[in-house]
Chains A and B, each alone.
Chain A
Amino acid sequence: MFADYLLLLFATEPRRAKAIYNVCRGRRTVSTLFAGLTYQQLAWLDSWHGVPLAKFEAAAQTLIAAGWLQAPTDGYLALTAAGQAQQAELQQRLYQPVAWQQFRQADVRRFTALSQLALQVVSEYSHQTKRYYPVTTDPGVQATVKRWFRQWRKPMIVTQVVTELHAFLATLAPTQATIFMNSVTGYDFPGQTDQQLATAFKRTPVEILVMRKDLSCQLVAWLRQQPTGPLAALVKPLVKANPVSTSAWQTYQAFQQTADLSQIATQRRLKLSTVREHLLETAILTPGFPFETILTPELLAPLTAVFGESASVATWRFEQVQSVAPTLDFFCFRLYQIMRCQRATA
């Protein structure tokens, strides 16, 4: 069940439920990203793209009804003792994704759609069939695959694709490789649905779905390492040049030239608050962000004095430092929180 995977994302200390849902749904607001960072869940960013908020809420309700989650304060959910035991059991039993951080680094969903049609096209081509029902009628996907196929269509394409696939599948556990191939659509083989694979492998359909998403991520990761074949060529344009939005990245580039945020705002015709949001987003998603360029020793002093000893970043309150240093603004406080999270995990 979907709810089982949701339970894995909670802990005994209360977590902001909506932030967790939005991390999964790929909402990139600073507050969502920050929650993802503090809960160490950024790998889940965008992993359940397109799933409506209501589905998360309904799943959480079933977990509450089962006695595994409780709501200590409005908007927050925490594991109960029974929930903790259930979570531990699920961690053992459920398939656990290993490569979901690819969702952040490349457009995995697009790759899944493209590769599905591409594999069908190559399979049918290898059997010299021209009449077949395409697995997707999405015109964008069809056009991209058509261009790709034209570019790579040489007698060798079949061998090249098989070589790529074989090498990739050989890196997987046999069950996973079998699930991957059985879900492929090709010549005289429509492919098995998640429900059918679930029955065959004694898993739930959601587990198969999670596994297949993860297999897509693993394939993307593998193709990025082996960049010469035709399938790798499908991935290449989908790899994100930088981890944040284009606009935030431009702000960050300007920031590397000058630490004067007002100047960046004027230069980029943005509000100062937007510049700050961009920098927070970048700080959360980019390793090695130069925090000290903004957090000068004078600014750091009160922050370290108040929070230096406390590791539970999510529980800090801005008011605590405000009472000591009334001029310090929220931006610096949030940036310091991000710095501490990053350095704790590093």
Chain B
Amino acid sequence: MQQREIYQLLKQKYGFDEFRPGQYEVIAALLTHQDVLAVLPTGTGKSLIYQFVGTVMPGLVVVVSPLISLMQDQVARLNYQGEKAVAALTSQVDFGTRQATLNHLAQVKFLFVSPEMLKQTAVLTALQTVKIALFVVDEAHCISTWGPDFRPDYLGLGQLKQQLGQPLTLMLTATATAQVRQDIVTQLQVPTAKQVVYSVNRPNIYLAVEQVSNEAAKRERLQQLVTTVATPAIVYFSSKKQTDLIAEWLRQTTGLRVAAYHAGLSAEDRFKIQQQFMTGQLDVICATSAFGMGINKADIRMVVHYHLPTTLADYVQEIGRAGRDGQQSLAMLLYAPGDEQLVRNLNELTAASTTQIQNDYQRFQHQQTPPDELAAVLQFYWEHQYSVAQVEALFTERQQQKQRELQQLLAYVQTTTCRRATLLAHFGEPKPSHTATCCQSAGSSLPLETLGLQAATKVEQTPITSWETLLDQLFLQKI
């Protein structure tokens, strides 16, 4: 396909004249049957790449995706764009529907699937009967960050790909250090893949960190932020309970339109909150990291981290949801002494002691089913003929890695020099020139005026509409 034709199709199908940075390069390589690892900043339209290639190449596009909520968002978005032949295989889809999807794979163009679902024999067998145009691993950094001790099926993807006849592969992520990129291509067995790597830097996001003395002070600072800084805003938490509690507290004390969003909500409530946020009916969303991977809202002005993210890569992903319209935005990390303990606790959840690993190997040898999550993870290694010593080494290395990542994160929090330079150095990128709209140095105040990010006039919480009025509004009878 010639460059001219590619641009014609872009105009005709998506109505754009230009590609976003990196899109063309990746598409052109894929169209010449070259595997690609694309590291493109958040908000550059990564899904357009596989949609575009899917339109041109005959066959099915398989997208391996980590979260159910993300898959649902992606399916809804493709539906929205008029793609009808889209399906997702998740544990939330009932057996009959799943079976029906597998029986009619030839009629599906885009199939979203988790690594755990993909390895099931029924799914694999069905996929072997159709032509796969493109095998996409979305959020490919999960291979490196989640694989070893959380979702080892990510490590099995390379083998599964082989069983599917080594289809053309696209690995997508927004953030990946050189080490993570190496992990991805090794695990997926595509050492010669073309790497298209763009800077993770988002110059229009002002980077701020504020130290507060304790939880109460942090809460108060959050309240100030959401009332004085421009919205819409996302506030990230690491616990569901806090998300609910603080959302309710903010709603009551600020009069802003605030909602909580986390994996504990029903699919219906998640949909409603996302749509309310997308259509400007909410000012602030308090969320766990489950929110936002599939969100495409251009005008988010502020992302606050109430708790520390787990890694700098996650942080870059999460703040990347701000300012996709290119306008000035703000990323604020609130830190109270001891916050890192929460991250350590989370990290320990996936740790395993030598005794635990040895005992679990005994369990496996006695052919007992895995009783808990750790055993389910270890099961993967036993099934793939790893030795106890190998698994021990792997878990130790993973914990050390997590410890290093936490140190890097804390270095960003505590730096007394340019934050952006610290952040970019982590991803092996050169130091940018520091300006007034770059980042907040330790202890200085937020230059909201300079940034043009003062809060606008508050929209009142809308009162409940009567059923008769709603019936008239929702259903126009004169058509």
Q: What is the CA–CA distance of A190 and B87 in the complex, to the nearest angstrom?
A: 23
Inter-subunit contact A178/B466 (CB<8 Å): yes
A residues in contact (CB < 8 Å) with B: 116, 119, 122-123, 126-128, 130-140, 155, 158-159, 161-162, 165-166, 169, 174, 177-178, 180-182, 184-196, 199-201
> Of A137, A166, A174, A193, which contacts B471 at CB under 8 A?
A166
Report the nearest A residue to B104, measured CB to CB. Answer: A139
Contact of A158 with B479 at beta-carbon distance under 8 Å, contacts A140-B100, A193-B259, A193-B273 already known? yes
> Of A132, A135, A184, which contacts B470 at CB under 8 A?
A184
> Of B77, B79, B101, B279, which contacts A190 at CB under 8 A?
B279
Contact of A190 with B464 at beta-carbon distance under 8 Å, contacts A139-B93, A140-B96, A140-B97 already known? no
Report the nearest B residue to A201, measured CB to CB. Answer: B464
Which residue, of B81, B94, B464, has the highest number of chain A Cβ atoms within 10 A? B464
Residues of A contacting B273 in the complex (Cβ-Cβ under 8 angstroms):
190, 193
> Of B75, B76, B100, B465, which contacts A182 at CB under 8 A?
B465
Report the nearest A residue to B470, measured CB to CB. Answer: A181
Inter-subunit contact A135/B271 (CB<8 Å): yes
Inter-subunit contact A126/B271 (CB<8 Å): no
Contact of A189 with B471 at beta-carbon distance under 8 Å, contacts A128-B479, A140-B96, A162-B477 already known? no
Inter-subunit contact A138/B475 (CB<8 Å): no
Report the nearest A residue to B275, measured CB to CB. Answer: A190
Residues of B contacting A186 in the complex (Cβ-Cβ under 8 angstroms):
474-475
Residues of B contacting A192 in the complex (Cβ-Cβ under 8 angstroms):
272, 464
Residues of A contacting B93 in the complex (Cβ-Cβ under 8 angstroms):
138-139
Q: What is the CA–CA distance of A181 and B269 in the complex, to the nearest angstrom?
A: 15
Q: What is the CA–CA distance of A121 and B132 in the complex, to the nearest angstrom?
A: 32
Contact of A169 with B467 at beta-carbon distance under 8 Å, contacts A158-B477, A186-B474, A193-B269 already known? yes
Q: What is the CA–CA distance of A338 and B79 in the complex, to the nearest angstrom?
A: 52
Inter-subunit contact A139/B79 (CB<8 Å): no
CB distance from B473 to the nearest CB of A (A): 7
Q: What is the CA–CA distance of A123 and B470 in the complex, to the nearest angstrom?
A: 11
Inter-subunit contact A189/B470 (CB<8 Å): yes
> Of A132, A137, A161, A195, which contacts B269 at CB under 8 A?
A195
CB distance from A177 to the nearest CB of B (A): 4
Q: What is the CA–CA distance of A154 and B417 in the complex, to the nearest angstrom?
A: 67
Q: What is the CA–CA distance of A190 and B282 in the complex, to the nearest angstrom?
A: 11
Report the nearest B residue to A196, measured CB to CB. Answer: B259
> Of B97, B272, B474, B475, which contacts A193 at CB under 8 A?
B272
Q: What is the CA–CA distance of A94 and B79 in the complex, to the nearest angstrom?
A: 40
Residues of B contacting A122 in the complex (Cβ-Cβ under 8 angstroms):
475
Inter-subunit contact A136/B267 (CB<8 Å): yes
Q: What is the CA–CA distance of A187 and B81 in the complex, to the nearest angstrom?
A: 17
Inter-subunit contact A169/B471 (CB<8 Å): yes
Inter-subunit contact B72/A137 (CB<8 Å): yes
Q: What is the CA–CA distance of A196 and B75 in the complex, to the nearest angstrom?
A: 26
Q: What is the CA–CA distance of A158 and B80 in the complex, to the nearest angstrom?
A: 22
> Of B279, B467, B479, which contacts A181 at CB under 8 A?
B467
* Interface residue B1 (Cβ < 8 Å from any Cβ of A): no
> Of A133, A139, A185, A200, which contacts B87 at CB under 8 A?
A139
* Interface residue B88 (Cβ < 8 Å from any Cβ of A): yes
Can you list the 10 inter-chain pairs with the closest CB atoms, starting with the nearest?
A: A190-B275, A186-B474, A181-B467, A137-B75, A177-B467, A140-B97, A181-B470, A126-B476, A193-B269, A123-B474
> Of B76, B101, B466, B476, which contacts A158 at CB under 8 A?
B476
13 contacting pairs across A/B (C-beta < 8 A): A126-B479, A127-B476, A132-B80, A133-B76, A133-B79, A133-B80, A137-B75, A139-B87, A140-B94, A162-B475, A169-B471, A184-B470, A190-B279
Inter-subunit contact A188/B467 (CB<8 Å): no
